[in-house]
Structure formats: C-alpha cells, structure tokens
Amino acid sequence: MRTSTVFALGLASGASGLATPPDVRLNVARAAPDSPSGATRPPCWLEAREPKTKTALDNFLKRVNIADFDYASYLQTDGAYPRISIAMSGGGYRALLNGAGFIYAADDRTGGDSGISGLLQASTYFSGLSGGGWLVSTIYGNNFTTIESLMSDEDVWQFRPRYWRDLHDQVSSKQDAGFDVSLTDYWGRAVSYQLLRGDEGGAAYTFSSIADAEDFKNGETPFPILVADGRAPDTKIINLNSTVFEFNPFELGSWDPTLYGFAPLDYIGSNFTGGRVDDKGSCVRGFDQLGFVMGTSSSLFNMALLTDIPDSPLIQPIREVDVIFAVDSSADTTYNWPNGTALRASYERSLNSIANGTHFPAVPDAETFVNLKFNQEPVFFGCDAANFSSEGGSAPPLIVYIPNAPLSGFSNVSTFDPTHEIDERNDIVQNGYNVATRGNGTLDDAWPTCVACAALSRSFERTGTTPPQACQDCFNRYCWNGQLDTTAVSSYEPGLILNAEADSGSFKMAASTALWIVPAAAAWLLTA
C-alpha cells in the first residue's frame, strides 16, 4: 500500500468541515488476519452483537420448527451458531424497492409472520451496493427504521423538484471551501432528499455517525457495509480486477491487494503520510456525509457494472460468515431481469490474484441460469463444503441466491427510469416480499424451513452433524448440483409466476404522492 493516501476514490471529493487538532495521528492499519478491519473496534462490537443474533436465531428456529430437529439442544454444541449476512445488489431504484420487499419479510418488526421473520435480526452483516446501498443507508440513516415506516412517511421516499436549488447551494458551499466537486456530489444529495429524514435531506448525517447510535453500539442492529467499485479514469467499464472499497461505520478501505488497508472513516479526506497527518496539515471531518457515500457507491451513471452484489467484504475468512442471502436486482437481460452475471463475476474474480486468497462457490453460465430457471427462484451455491478442502483454507459462505423475478408484478423497471408512481413503488416492494417468501408459501410451504437449513448448513459441517431429513430435502430442492444447460437463449420475457388471483400478500401499502426520480436533472447543476 502506498504510504501517502488521500481517500477520494477518484470519484469526487469534499468535506463539510476542517479542523487541526494538536498531534493528529491516524493509524492506517492493515486488513490482515491479525487486524481484520484495521482497528480493534469491530471485534469489540461483535462481542455486543453476538448475544443478540443468538437470541434472534433461537426465536427464528422456534417459529420455523424444523421437523425432527431439536434446535435448542443442537445450539448447545460448540460452534453451532452460524454467522448470517445479507447482501443487496445494485440496480438503482429497482434494487432499492425489490430489496425493501426482502427486508420487509425478514424483519420481525413487520406485522404478521412472513415465514422468514427475524432473519434480519439474526444477521451480523448487512451490505449494499448502489441501489442496494441506498436501502442500507435509508434504514440506518433513519435510526434503523422499518420499511413499513419509510413507506408510510411522506417526508421520505419522495422527490420534490424544489430541492434542486438547495442541492446547488449545498454543493457550492463545499466547492467554496476549496474541495473539488463532481456530479456524484449532486447525485448523493439528491438521493439523500428522497431517502433521509432531517433538515436539508439529512445534510448533517455522516456514515461514521452510525457508530455513535446507541442501538448500534449495543449490538442491536447488523453491521452495515456499503461497497464502491473502483474505476480507472476515463473508462466506463469496471473490470473484475478493479479495487473494491468498503465503507463501514468505523473505516474505509479495501481487502484487495491493490490497497489492503483501512483508515478511520470519520477522518477520510485528510492527507496523511505513514499514518500521520503532517504537522501543518488539516484534519478533515464530514467527508463521509451519508449522502456522498451513497452517491459514491451508486456513481455508475452510464457505466457497466459486473460485480453488482456486494459480497467481497463478506467472504473474507476473518469475518467467519457462514451464509450470505444475496438479493440480486441486476438488469442483465434485455428486459432488466438478472441472469446470474453478478454472481458469476464474483466467482470469476475469486479465480485470480485480486481475490487475495478468498474463495467463492462455482456459478454456472447465463444460459444455464435462464434455461434452468435459476433466475426465477432461490438457488443455493456452495452446498458441499468438502469441495473446497483441496483448495486450502476454510470454505466460503453458502450463497442463497434470491433473484428479482415477476412473482406478483413486473419489477423489472429500468435502472434509469425517471419516474415511479406510488402504486408502482408499492407493487415492486410487494413483489420483492413475495420473492423473499416464495409467495407467502404459495410456491413452497417448506421455504422457511429451507431458509433455516441454509443458515445452519456450514454449522452442520463444522460440528460434524448430519442434517435432519427436512434439511436434506431442502438441499436436494435448492442446491445447484452442477447441472448445465448452455442452450442459447434468444430472448427472456417471463410471465407472472404467481396466479394473479392468489392471495400472496400479507400487507397492502397506503397510497401517497408520486415518487419522482430525475437523475438526469442533476447535470445542469454543474454549470448552474
């Protein structure tokens, strides 16, 4: 890693304040096995979080009630408790809303039992990229609120044209302070007005301030991670060897060998050498404004993004993640449905040096995804951990792939769709809920059991426990067995999977005003 670093990511830079504390020292630690996150705080946080996830998992398994399985006795076994993570792909507002449907189903604060209620509370990590990062940010930026609350609040998840002048004034003040600005600054502020409560679109909120929230400090919430993919200047394509950056409440950095280090998030934007700000230098604060971090994660505009599922931070062996519920809202096909490209990119990335020794389960080609309908229903990848024993090291997490699919509605809106009426917004969230719950059990009434079995899969292997028959049935149903079907796919235009008359929804959403999304309107602000 170079010793002199300014964390601007090559996308934009700016800060809301400057300070020159006496004797400033920023310890730029390595993301090495003996220092997994560049500081000692995340392990301390885990000590607070783990009792909460254990209680939540106990409650989840009690509700699911896997047949012929004494979960309470099993969890007394050393190493039995799994570490669960959720990853939300990019895909603009499509990803935000489809992912919201999944979280609505997984959150035990939602009224009723979706079958997977409590999965969110049992999770240790919650990552997002681009539109998936907006979902993470809108939840944490509003005090770890519920999807139900966000959808019923007319102060968020809306857009009002009067904000544009405010955006210009706010970004201009950053420029007047001597920092470069770009379209990402305006984009981040625009997204903030739609997703964050608070004055001026939550302008005072920083991502690092999440670490100061009492519920986070007490381990009541999962650990939020936003991912930004590096891009070389003057290029449009983000290749598999691009550096993947991680924002978490404590730090910014990367696990990739191109950087392999982290710095305190609340001081990014500061110019330091050898881990120390020059005696005559200034210590920058506020660079990690939440809106700017959201904008950085989603600053794709017309770029092609392959690594669209933020799993890189979750497959680091030191984090000991057992399962990743990967919600894919990518637009890989002509009509904006996923075909596994993002997951396959993660696998292909794991095969070269940028992976830095991490592993990822094998993933088939796009034709197989479509022909075998892997993009219409959940699929488990990496079920047999023994397949990785010859490669050395521990097995990667089991991947529970949850693709955006037309269960109750057509949620394949364009990433760059300029407007969404509230009814359409609600339909996409409803569809995401149905995807997460298999149509409230309409498509598979054993799905809650299979979710529980997926969560316990690596645990069973770790403890040498034979899975109960119910879990073996789930693995036979959802695990990819290596079968391929590479027949060319000319066009993919799926119809609705659920019968339109089936009562697959357990909630209805209140109407409100229209949600206006006009990303192109930001362009004039650069010259206004």
Model confidence at 522, pLDDT cuts 50, 70, 90, reads very low
Model confidence at 418, pLDDT cuts 50, 70, 90, reads low
From the list 418, 414, 445, the residue with the least C-alpha distance to 428 is 414
Report whether pLDDT(6) > 50. Answer: no
Q: How many domains does the chain have?
A: 1
pLDDT single digits (tens) 127-183: 999 889 889 988 998 899 999 999 888 777 654 445 555 655 665 566 556 566 555
Strand order, beta sheet including 379-381: 261-264, 251-254, 244-247, 223-229, 123-129, 84-88, 323-328, 398-403, 379-381
Q: And the tokens for 434?
A: 């149905």
Residue 212 lies in a domain: yes
pLDDT at 388: 82
Please enumerate, as own/partner, the contacts of 501-506 that have beta carbons within 8 Å and a separation of 24 or more.
502/439, 502/442, 503/440, 504/407, 504/408, 504/434, 504/439, 504/440, 504/442, 505/408, 505/430, 505/433, 505/434, 505/440, 506/112, 506/114, 506/433, 506/440
Which percentage of the chain shows pLDDT scores above 90? 52
As beta bridge partners, residue 237 has 304
pLDDT at 100: 97
Model confidence at 281, pLDDT cuts 50, 70, 90, reads confident
Which percentage of the chain shows pLDDT scores above 70? 70
pLDDT at 12: 30
Query: Given CA atoms 423, 428, 434, 437 in this order, what sign does their dihedral have?
Result: negative
pLDDT single digits (tens) 299-325: 654 444 455 789 999 999 999 999 999
> Both ends of the chain: CA-CA distance in Å?
39
pLDDT single digits (tens) 467-499: 999 999 999 999 999 999 999 998 899 999 996
Residue 294 lies in a domain: yes
- Structural domain span for residue 246: 57-271+281-526
Residue 353 lies in a domain: yes
Report whether pLDDT(390) > 90. Answer: no
Report whether pLDDT(392) > 60. Answer: no
pLDDT at 29: 37
Residue 301 lies in a domain: yes
Report whether pLDDT(27) > 60. Answer: no
Residue 15 lies in a domain: no
Q: Residue 305: which CATH number?
A: 3.40.1090.10
> What CA–CA distances, in Å, run from 525 to 164, 187, 376, 477?
8, 10, 41, 52
The mean pLDDT of 268-281, rounded to a whole number, is 76
Residue 33 lies in a domain: no
Q: Cα angle at 199 between 195 and 203, to 5 degrees?
A: 70
CB 432 within 8 A of CB 111: no
> Which of 15-29, 188-202, 228-242, 470-484 has maximum average pLDDT?
470-484
Lowest mean pLDDT across 208-212, 229-233, 459-463: 229-233
Report whether pLDDT(285) > 60. Answer: yes
Q: What is the DSSP letter of 361?
A: -
Name every residue whose Cβ is closer than 8 Å to that of residue 289 and which is 6 or more positions away in sequence. Answer: 14, 16, 188, 203, 205, 206, 207
Residue 38 lies in a domain: no
Backbone angles phi, psi at 460, to 5 degrees: -60, -45
Calculate the average pLDDT of the chain.
Answer: 80
Half-sphere exposure of 501 (CA within 13 A, CB side): 0
Of 74 and 525, the one with more pLDDT: 74
Cβ-count burial 158-179 (b if 16+ within 10 Å, e if not): bbeeebbeebbebbeebeeeeb
Residue 467 lies in a domain: yes
Q: Read out DSSP for 173-223?
A: HHHHTT----HHHHHHHHHHHHH--SGGGTTT-BGGGGGG-HHHHTT-S-E
> Which of 117-126, 196-205, 209-218, 248-257 has maximum average pLDDT?
117-126
